[in-house]
Amino acid sequence: MTRYIIRRLLQAIPLLFIISLIIFIMMQNMGDPVATMGGRRVTRSEDRIRLTRQLGLDKPVIVQYLYWLVGNDWAKTDMDGDGVAETPGKRKGVLRGDFGLSLVNRKPVTQVIGERLPNTLLLMLVAEAIIISVALLVGIYSALHQYTALDNVITTSTFIFYSMPVFFFALLAMYIFAVNFKAWGLPYLPTVGMFEPEAGKSASQVAWHMILPVATLSFGFIAGYSRYIRSTMLEAMGQDYIRTAKAKGLPRPQIVYIHALKNAALPIVTLIALDLPFLLGGAIVTERIFGWPGMGRLFLDHVDRSDTPVVMGILMMIAVAVIIFQIIADVLYAWLDPRIHYK
Amino acid sequence: MKNRRLFSFLVSLVVIAAFLAACTPAAPATEEPTAEPTAERKVATFIWTQEYDTLNPLYTNMWFVTVLYPIYTCQAWWFDDQNNPVPYLVTEIPSKDNGGISEDGRIITLKLRDDIQWSDATPITSADFKFTYDMVMADGNAVSSRAPFDLTESLETPDERTVVVTFTEPFAPWLARLFAGQSGAALLPAHILQPVFDENGTIDTAEWNKAPTVGCGPFVFQEWESGSFARFVVNENYWGPRPKIDELFFRFVPDDASQVAALKAGDGDVGTFFAMSDMPELEAAGVVIMKSLSGYNEGWYINQHPEKGNPALQDVRVRQALAYGFNRQKLVDDLLLGRAAVPATDWDNTSWEDPSIEPYTYDPEKAKALLEEAGWVDSNGDGVREKDGVDLVLKYGTTNREVRQDTQAVAQQELAEVGIKLELLSFDSDIFFASYAEDGPSANFSLDIIEYSDSPDAPDPNSVVWRCAEIPSDENPAGVNPTGFCDEEFEALWAKQETQVDVAERQQTFHQITKMIFEKAFWIGLWQDPDYFGFSSRIINVKMSGATPFFNVVEWDIAQ
């Protein structure tokens, strides 16, 4: 197993290199970062020329990629525009831990991402915990009570929720529980943000402000996961070993939660392990609507301004996480199912 | 057991994330801790749909930052609700009468007040002006714009209270751009940033850029948490009257619908940049809509590039047919609920507007007649006019802002009725406004009609987008003239106005310019595009300026 993990990690190195090169080249065609530096007005041509030079955007794409990867402290830049490169570069490159500076705010990329990642993790992990718990409860109940009235209600509800666009659910929830509840004189939830300025940022304020975004993030996934669990549980409950367990007279909870669920959980665990890395990317729509300061919004804001260093930083972080969680999924799979061996 | 471990793992992650969130490096080193909220504390909450990129005025042209200059930073003068200059750091507005402007119009002298100081009680002197100028011009600093300092010969400080700026040529727009207005520089604290520059050779990455804890406005920066919020609190060392509100809290909410919901729910006191179609709903909820006449007008720039432009648009009759054939009044009535007017010129809503010019009326018959006169007829009956075997098909591009895409659809439908076919294209802003070098559609002359909203250097009428030298080309890949049009007489008028320091004379020149643009239909206005702000009814005493909207923020109050 250890050799397998090491081999997978070594294989990831060229993969990450290829991914980074492809994304970098694609980013060059995503827009002109200097175009939006004029604010609402078109950037003056003198400023475009100067900024393009000073920010190193006048270099060929492959040179820009090289600087991103290995830095430019071995090269010089023409900062004064006299055609002679005179100023030594300061970037160390990704391979030496320097992801560069954001073109938008000149902050280090690691700082830009570091400021948002905890907020995203808080939101997404709470949502994921709720999704898994509720989906398990609903899925198992539904499987054990197949074709009952409540199962039919659950099935119908899950299809409705699963097919409902996130933005629609988010705005609907906001208008009902925040805007209208307040207008009707009922206890109401906040519309946006993480806390009220007068109250200050406290754990209770953050938790209160998380209710609507977490609900928005959860509803679709609960619907999807619960259908998946229902189906795998139904399959497991029809297996010979369950019949044997029943014949042996084992208590029903033991049959359901030890024998059936363990086997039914195998594909679910894989699914969750593969979903986890994308939690780092945040939830673009939910964060945007509820003004939650997470990674999804960060990504969107910086893509809009063609901020290659920040976008590269986010995408590479997700790429690394995908590779790591895929390995974790494989390991978990072998752990849960002793029949599986990796060489 | 395994499920329990997985559960424990997830719970641990949540706890770690909660801990990290609580430890987010939100509060850059501030001078004073966050004030404890008290019952009497007056806090106004802004719902800001775009987060600041930086708070260093030299590194941003972002409207959501420049509009805040009167709050946390300072300039030589502000502009009031009539867009008239109001002295701020200076004792008086320079003029020829008071000796502030030289006879040849090249030298502007600023006389500073003697009671002005930074929020840390360090006096503001001419050295701060000189430092700001030096930072703009320093090659080590990738500032967003060097205008207008790259047009100067020098900036000298004969004494602590005098700043003398010498331009190479008389520069008429100085009032709107020289340490003033949203396009001009705001002051940097030399005593804070000079050591940073001395050490690093640049202030690009200075901590002050994101945490300007020493400022010179009535409010001073206190805290900015990325993506979430920013706080400005009363500057206790402010030399002017103390603001009536204690804190301005900016909440970053990028979604328009959420902004409207937050304003309706009372979770925000001030909002902006909402769609006109949302205004009735906001007003019904008690939000007061106010207008800032910023000089912006939405319109069509017509590509007339002699080689790359559509030959059909070289004919003034075809351009005029576009104006006559599109019912723009109906557009603003239906799409913008009649809250905007159709502009006749790109200078509507400014003092430079020529009142004698009225917008082209909707007259499809006249449009058809003009097209036929120009030789464009629909001989094959397919609904599209043609000439010499070429169909009258125009490529119409803009950004993917919703109201613009709706406008495209309406225009396509209406112009089809007069025999003009529009091919619609829309792009993200950074792609649409990309330079010629980056093959940006607004610069590479691939579009025939280019729609966006632009403003002169409000309240100054000067604009570079009409200048010959700004036509993008292989030799000039950074040019910003989207029309590709260059005419000797037209260019001469532009050059003339730029040096006319006398306002009345300059106004006459501008009337000539706007008449030419209008009559030859170089630009066709769609709607006047002032900035709208929504204020909750508890915010009182607000006045709106076009050039520096929050000029009277000190007087704002919260009704109890």
Handedness of CA B223, B225, B226, B231 (dihedral sign): negative
Single-letter amino acid, residue B462: N
Per-residue pLDDT band for A92 (boundaries 50, 70, 90) equals very high
Of A34, A197, A291, Cβ closest to residue B252: A291
> Pick from B410, B317, B409: which is nearest to B367 by CA?
B317
CA angle, corner B333, sides to B328 and B337, nearest 5? 140
Amino acid found at B408: Q
Model confidence at A281, pLDDT cuts 50, 70, 90, reads confident
Q: How far apart are CA B548 and CA B457, in angstroms?
A: 12
Extract the tokens encoding B9: 């793992």
Percent of chain B with pLDDT over 90: 79
**What integer pLDDT is reported at residue B542 of this predicted model?**
97
Taking the CA atoms of residue B330, residue B336, residue B338 and residue B339 in that order, the dihedral angle to the nearest 10 degrees is -150
What confidence tens digit (pLDDT) does each residue in B430-450 have? 789 888 888 899 999 999 999
What DSSP letter does each residue of B95-111 carry, written as one string?
A: -TTTTSB-TTS-EEEEE
What span, in angstroms and rounded, lies between the C-alpha atoms of A31 and B440? 8
pLDDT per residue as tens digits for the range B89-120: 999 999 999 999 999 999 999 999 999 999 99
pLDDT band at A46 (very low <50, low <70, confident <90, very high): confident
Interface of A with B in 216-255 (CB under 8 A): none
Dihedrals phi, psi of B31, to nearest 5 degrees = -80, -30
Which backbone phi and psi does B247 adopt, to 5 degrees?
Answer: -145, 140
Q: Are strands B43-48 and B247-252 parallel, antiparallel or unpaired?
A: parallel
Residue that wins the pLDDT comparison between A335 and A133: A133
- Residue B13 reports pLDDT greater than 50: no
pLDDT at B32 over 50: no
Task: Name which of B72, B74, B109, B108 is nearest B88 in CA terms.
Answer: B74
- Closest-approach residue (CA) in chain A for B15: A122
Facing residue for A191 by CB, picked from B254, B262, B455:
B262
Establish if A57 touches chain B: CB-CB under 8 angstroms.
no
Quote the CA–CA distance of B148 and B180 in Å, as a whole number: 11
Across chain A, where does the E strand assignment appear? 76-77, 87-88
Secondary structure of residue B395 in the 3-state scheme? strand
Cβ atoms of B351 and B79 within 8 Å: the answer is no
Taking a C-beta distance cutoff of 8 angstroms, is the pair B76, B88 a contact? Answer: yes
CA distances from A280 to A284, B474, B550 (A): 11, 43, 38
Of B29 and B396, the structure prediction assigns the larger pLDDT to B396
Q: Looking at chain B from residue 221 to 250, which residues have their Cβ under 8 Å from any Cβ of chain A?
A: 225-229, 231, 247, 249
CA distance B545 to chain A (A): 17
Mean of pLDDT over chain B: 91
Does B45 contact chain A (CB < 8 Å)? yes
Helix axis angle, A109-144 to A308-336, nearest 10°? 40
Instruction: Report the gap between the CA of B444 and the closest CA in chain A (Å).
Output: 13
pLDDT band for position B332 (50/70/90)? very high
A34 touches chain B (CB under 8 A): yes
Interface contact B145-A47, CB threshold 8 A:
yes
Residue B514, burial from CB neighbour count under 10 angstroms (0-12, 13-18, 19+): buried
pLDDT in tens, A301-318: 899 888 999 999 999 999
C-alpha distances out from residue A18 to A65, A71, A93, A156, Å: 12, 18, 16, 44
**Euclidean distance between the first and the last CA atom of chain B, given in angstroms as a whole number:** 59
Half-sphere exposure of A331 (CA within 13 A, CB side): 13
Find the distance separating the first CA and the last CA of chain A, reported in whole Å. Answer: 7
pLDDT at residue number A42: 72
Residue A213 CB coordination number (10 Å): 26
Mean local confidence (pLDDT), A274-289: 82
Instruction: Provide ipTM, 2 decimals.
Output: 0.84
For B403-440, write each residue's pLDDT tens digit: 999 999 999 999 999 999 999 999 988 789 888 888 89
pTM of the model: 0.85
Residues B299/B343, Cβ–Cβ less than 8 Å = yes
8 A C-beta contact, residue B95 and residue B102? no
Q: Considering only residues 417 to 446 of chain B, which have any Cβ-Cβ distance to chain A shorter than 8 Å? A: 428-435, 437-438, 440, 442
Query: Is B333 at the interface with chain A, CB within 8 A?
Result: no
Asked if residue B52 lies in contact with residue B65, where contact means CB atoms within 8 angstroms, the answer is yes
B524 three-state secondary structure: strand
Any residues with CB less than 8 A from the CB of B430 and at least 6 apart, and which?
A30, A31, A32, A33, A35, A36, A304, A305, A306
Q: How far apart are CA A226 and CA A139, in angstroms?
A: 4
What pLDDT, in 10s, does the model give residues A163-222?
A: 888 899 999 999 999 999 998 999 999 999 999 888 888 999 999 999 999 999 998 889
Q: Which two tokens stand for residue B321?
A: 């047919």
Residue B41: per-residue pLDDT: 87
| Residue A3 burial (CB count, 10 A) | 9
Mean pLDDT, residues A87-116 taken together: 93
Asked if B440 lies within 8 A of A32 by C-beta distance, the reply is yes
Please give the structure tokens belonging to residue A65: 């990629």
> Which among A188, A164, A283 is positioned nearest to B255, based on CA atoms?
A283
Separation CA A197–CA B268 (nearest Å): 10
Q: What angle do CA A50, A55, A60 make, to 5 degrees?
A: 100
Q: In the predicted model, is pLDDT for residue B394 greater than 90?
A: yes
The rounded distance, in Å, linking the Cα atoms of B235 and B118 is 9
Q: Is B295 on the interface with A (CB under 8 A)?
A: no
Q: Is B219 on the interface with A (CB under 8 A)?
A: no
Rg (Cα) of chain A, in Å, rounded?
25
**For tokens 């714009």, what's the residue?**
B145
Which DSSP letter does residue A118 get? H
Q: What is the mean pLDDT of chain A?
A: 89
pLDDT by residue (tens digit) across B479-516? 889 999 999 999 999 999 999 988 889 999 999 999 99
Burial of B92 (0-12, 13-18, 19+ CB in 10 A): middle
Distance from CA of A190 to the nearest CA of B (A): 7
- Residues in A touching B11 (Cβ below 8 Å): 129
Distance from CA of A45 to the nearest CA of B (A): 5
> Within an 8 Å CB–CB cutoff, is residue A173 touching chain B?
no
Nearest-Cα distance to chain B for A155, in Å, is 26
- Give the torsion sign (CA, A131, A134, A139, A140): positive
Mean local confidence (pLDDT), B458-467: 88
- 67-106 in A: which are within 8 Å (CB) of B? 79-81, 87, 101, 104-106
Chain A CB contacts of B3 below 8 Å: 261, 265
Between CA B316 and CA B321 the distance in angstroms is 8
A92 touches A56 (CB < 8 A): no
The model's pLDDT over A210-253, given as tens digits with 9 standing for 90+, comes to 999 999 999 888 988 898 899 999 999 999 999 999 999 999 88
Query: How does A308-335 read in b/e, with b if 16+ C-beta sit within 10 Å?
Result: bbbbbbbbbbbbebbbbbbbbbbbbbee
d(CA A60, CA A197): 47
Q: Which of B210, B258, B266 is nearest residue A107 as measured by Cβ atoms?
A: B210
Amino acid identity for residue B114 in this structure: D
Q: SS3 of A58, please?
A: coil
Q: Name the phi and psi angles at B162, rounded to 5.
A: -130, 135
State the Cα–Cα distance between residues B49 and A236, nearest whole angstrom: 50
CA distance A143 to B348: 68
Distance CA B220, CA B212 (A): 8
pLDDT at residue number A343: 65
Q: How far apart are CA A239 and CA B320, in angstroms?
A: 78
Is pLDDT at B399 greater than 70 in this prediction?
Answer: yes
